[in-house]
Amino acid sequence: MQKSLHINAAKCTGCLQCEMACSFEHHGVFNPAKSRIKVFNFEHEGRKVPYTCTQCAEAWCLNACPVDAIRVDAGTGAKVVNEATCVGCKVCTIACPFGTVNYVADTGKVQKCDLCGGDPACATACPTGAITYVDADWTGLDKMRAWADKTDTSSRASA
């Protein structure tokens, strides 16, 4: 079963545990500046929204890369940057419609979410369930359940 990150922004409190977990997993440092997932705070609306790569099936970044540095991980379906191959041309950052692949000046390469090889640190770290790792075919399951719960079945019971 392929899984994907599922983000429910309504549950996000803005604690940034996900950003610390991501940077620690990939860089060995607690550093939101190096995180591949970012939480955006829309202060005047009281909304906080975690955002990262959705792992497009036909990935713009992958198709744009001139040196084939972005490959599909067969196990997770993640589009993964091979740092050894990446030349830091940044074409993928232009191609990505969502801004979720980014250049890292320190290394001269790009970075993006790689689903941590199938055990995303951000989802593990999230204290509220705003970020979960679920069956890729059923990211809508929670919403369906919530709406199903609102369905009035009382008429059947009384019939």
Rounded alpha-carbon distances, angstroms, from residue 131 to 33, 76, 128: 19, 17, 8
Of the two residues 30 and 138, which places its CB atom closer to another protein in the complex?
30
**Sites for another protein among residues 67-126 (CB under 8 A):** 125
- Number of amino acids touching another protein (CB under 8 A): 26
The length of the chain is 159
- Give me the least distance between CB of 52 and another protein, in Å please: 16
Q: Is 46 in the site for another protein (CB under 8 A)?
A: yes
Q: CB of 24 within 8 A of CB of 30?
A: yes
Query: Quick one: which of 3, 48, 79, 109 contacts another protein (CB under 8 A)?
Result: 48
Q: CB of 64 within 8 A of CB of 91?
A: yes
Of the two residues 49 and 95, which places its CB atom closer to another protein in the complex?
49
- Give me the least distance between CB of 126 and another protein, in Å please: 9
- Give me the least distance between CB of 14 and another protein, in Å please: 5
- Give me the least distance between CB of 28 and another protein, in Å please: 7
- Contact segment (CB under 8 A) with another protein among 38-46, 55-63, 89-97, 146-154 equals 38-46
Q: Is 51 in the site for another protein (CB under 8 A)?
A: no
**Sites for another protein among residues 12-31 (CB under 8 A):** 13-17, 20-21, 23-24, 27-31
- Give me the least distance between CB of 10 and another protein, in Å please: 8
Question: Burial of 72 by CB count in 10 Å (0-12 exposed, 13-18 middle, 19+ buried)?
Answer: middle
